[in-house]
Chains A and B, each alone.
Chain A
Amino acid sequence: MQKVGIVGYYQVKLYSDANYGRYEMIFEAVRGALDKAGLKKKDITTVISCTNDYYDGRTISNAFAVESGGAYLADESKVEMDGAHALLYGMMRILSGNHKLAVIWAGSMASCFPYHSTRLFETDPTWERPTAYVNDISALGFQMRAYMEKYGVNAEEIAEIAVKNRKNASKNPLALKEAQNPNLTVEDVLNSEIYADPVRELMVAQPCDGIAALLLAPEKQALKITDKPVWITGVGYNQEAYYLGDRNLAESKSMELASKMAYKTAEIKDPLKEIDVAEIFESAAHEELILKEALGLTDKGKGPSLNSEINGEFPINPSGGAIGGNPPCGTGLIRIIEATKQIRGEANGYQVKDVNKAIASGQIGMCAQNNIIYILEGGN
């Protein structure tokens, strides 16, 4: 696979209820990314957005955002999954040879819609939805219990992930204020409100408002635009079965298959040794462990044994991860941006030492039914 370069990025500060509107936010992100990279609107050849009609309360949610997203008279399209999937489509457009600069923007404003109710619309309307026993909260409950029962991981070990991510978020100026908890303890997490036993409120990534944008270019152009390009050297994406009853929720089959695809392309044989940091989209603390194991970083059920603090053996989510703020549709793209920052040495306050290769992932669907993972690399 030819290298594709990330040449710029911008993420707005996450708020649980931002005091400005959708179009201003989109403009801030896309214009911000272009300005930081020293590029102009007319350099843009293609724009891929990622929004969700149900979250935005608008059919064709990209239609009115064409102007603010920089897509006026540009070749534009929209992926309706996670921002990390929109990046995939942008990457495909670059790899085809048809385009020289792709703008990817993604996100939504969770303050404008009832998040958990809206997630119900994903469920099978002929079977699960009339009873609504399957929703994003109960699904997490099933997933956490399945993981704990199968591997004997206890709630404290899972709560430690929540503590870590919220502590990390407190060092990330762009993270959600409510998620910035530098002095949180495991006990605090285990005493927080129960969502769906055994999942507690402080373990869950809270939906919020936010938009992020990222710029991609082919190798030749990337080297001209910036002296710190970050290369995408591998990508993998995969979707597993839909019904929760069809799946083994204690592991993530789709992340296993996606990571195999990415590792093969990027020629990664031993991710634990070769990768320096991972920014993965975890919708709850236990999911970070499940995904970590699916990435092959540890054996199944042994996730807690790998220290993933910023100065630990294998740092995961130094930015706070999705627990640091989850703007629906934007979270995956923000993980890519955070991994990019780590490679460029721009993660002020939560920088991991000597990062050359990183993993970044996004997901969509109940219990991460569809995962996408990128291998990013620095160097010219």
Chain B
Amino acid sequence: MGRQVCIASAGFSEHASKRSDVSMPELVSEAIEDCLKKVPSMSINDIDAFVNGNMPAFEGVNIPELWMTDWMGARNKPLMRITTGGTTGGSVAIGGYYTVAAELPGIDTILAIGFEQQSQGDTSTGLASVAYGEISVLNSLGITYDQLTQLLSAGAAIGVASYQATNYMRRSKITEEDLARVVVQNRHNAAKTWWAHLKMPDLTIADVLETPYISYPLRYGMVCPASDGACAMLFTTEQKAKDLCDIPVYVNGVGSVANETGVLGYNGSGAGQLDTSEQLGAMKSAELAFGQAGISFPRKEIDYAEVYSPFPNQELMWIERLGLFEENTASEMYETGVTALNGELPINCSGGVNSTNAIGASAMERPAVAALQIMGKASNQVPKTVHTAIGHGWGGVINLITMMVMSDKPTRKIN
């Protein structure tokens, strides 16, 4: 059952804090144009089906894939929408993979689209509304709404990231300088990526450490921006991919194992997690995806990785939890250049989410860039040949994960 699935192209729109020159459907059409530009032997009419997703709270538009039908080229075509919050882009990419793998008659070539135009709404409100329905139970304990909103600065994305950072720092003993180093590497990489948002080629560790704290240990200079942008990926069969590009990228493993637990819960069940940097779901997703791809030693077998780190501590945490490096050695890898552009295992050479974060697109941009690195077509292309790469996404409240393992050779067993 099932068949090999290949990525034949990926495209981006320009990302910025305000793409005021385009409406949301027009923003999406830009990414699609960029994706199809790289495969001139086909056109939008050759797309058999679409998968679309974003995080709808940010723009105040529900199920916008209906509105943007024509702008995607999806009129009178099959279309499915997937949204899973921060991991939406990755989930849509995985949805694109499954649409091809399912081998439904006539459904061979898929366009997967992730996007966000955050400047149209209020990012904090969009993020906070993850929990309004749950934390309202605190009202019944006498905590008024105004007090709850103050809690949001210790909750929501920045809060979760701070807890992850302090937990991670406790076990790894890294310093704030290590965090700043990750930021600097990402922003330098972004400067060489045409579609990225925060391009800062001259940023220094000192610059980052001079900015004020938002929530210890995270400083303003360390956090990701809120971007407007879109990403599109082309999934198709092995046969078609070979016609479309020189190096088709095989999707050999996918996983999205969740270990989200109710933090407050309807009945105040408080099942929550004590260590938000444990990330059991990420470890399981990696196990699942690597297993499908036949990868036993990720550190040796993975040539490139894009991990989802809006905050620098997460980058260090992920590359350990996903099995790329030994526990508590990640910061050393940045100090010694192992994860740099010309290092042994380059990480986030697109600048990562830390430099560009259009939430609905960012988890797709990770496998998209990883695929382009394998194809040799990435904007900030690494000098070494990339055979096998991973694209990872993170979101939810604490732990929704997406993982995609790709290679220039098929390794997934089809029976």
Contact = CB atoms under 8 A, between A and B. Distances in A.
Contact of A58 (B94, B95, B130, B280): B130
Nearest to B403: A75
A206 to B, nearest CB: 20
A108 B285 CA distance: 28
Interface in B246-291: 254-263, 265-266, 271, 280-281, 284-285, 288
B76 A254 contact: yes
Contacts of B259: 66, 72-73
| Among A96, A238, A261: residue with most chain B CB under 10 A | A96
Contact of B266 (A1, A21, A242): A21
Contact of B57 (A53, A63, A89, A364): A53
B85 A59 contact: yes
Contact of B397 (A54, A63, A95, A236): A63
A125 interface: yes
A85 B266 contact: no
Contact of B76 (A21, A253, A366): A253
| Among B56, B79, B95, B258: residue with most chain A CB under 10 A | B258
B412 to A, nearest CB: 9
Contact of A56 (B77, B80, B133, B257): B133
B257 A75 contact: yes
A23 interface: yes
A194 interface: no
Interface stretch (A116-124, A147-155, A274-282, A352-360): A116-124
B83 A261 contact: no
Contacts of A370: 66, 79
B212 interface: no
B69 A241 contact: yes
B415 A63 contact: no
A176 interface: no
B2 A97 contact: yes
Contacts of B130: 58-60, 63
Interface in A54-107: 54, 56-60, 62-64, 66-67, 71-81, 85, 88-89, 91-98
A84 to B, nearest CB: 11
A95 B280 CA distance: 27
B258 A74 contact: yes
Nearest to B66: A365
Interface stretch (B103-111, B146-154, B189-197): B103-111
Contacts of B106: 261, 264
Contact of A64 (B23, B105, B292, B397): B397
B343 interface: no
A2 interface: yes
Interface string A26-62: 0000000000000000000000000011101111101
Contacts of A2: 1, 103
A98 to B, nearest CB: 7
A67 B53 CA distance: 23
B80 A81 contact: yes
Contacts of A56: 133
Given A78-B83, A235-B104, A241-B70, A52 B63 contact: yes
B143 to A, nearest CB: 19
Contacts of A71: 258
Contact of A364 (B2, B63, B280): B63
B127 A59 contact: yes
A97 B104 contact: no
A258 B107 CA distance: 13
B225 interface: no
A327 B98 CA distance: 28
A96 B101 contact: yes
Contacts of B295: none
Interface in B45-83: 53, 55-57, 59-63, 65-70, 74-83
B134 interface: yes
A242 B67 contact: yes
B65 to A, nearest CB: 8
Contacts of B415: 97
Contacts of A241: 69-70, 75-76
A97 B2 CA distance: 5
8 contacts: A54-B62, A59-B55, A60-B397, A67-B260, A85-B80, A96-B102, A122-B61, A122-B66
Interface of A: 1-2, 21-24, 52-54, 56-60, 62-64, 66-67, 71-81, 85, 88-89, 91-98, 118, 121-126, 218, 235-242, 253-254, 257-258, 261, 264-265, 364-366, 369-370
Interface of B: 1-2, 23, 53, 55-57, 59-63, 65-70, 74-86, 91, 94-95, 98-99, 101-106, 126-127, 129-134, 254-263, 265-266, 271, 280-281, 284-285, 288, 292, 395-397, 400, 414-415
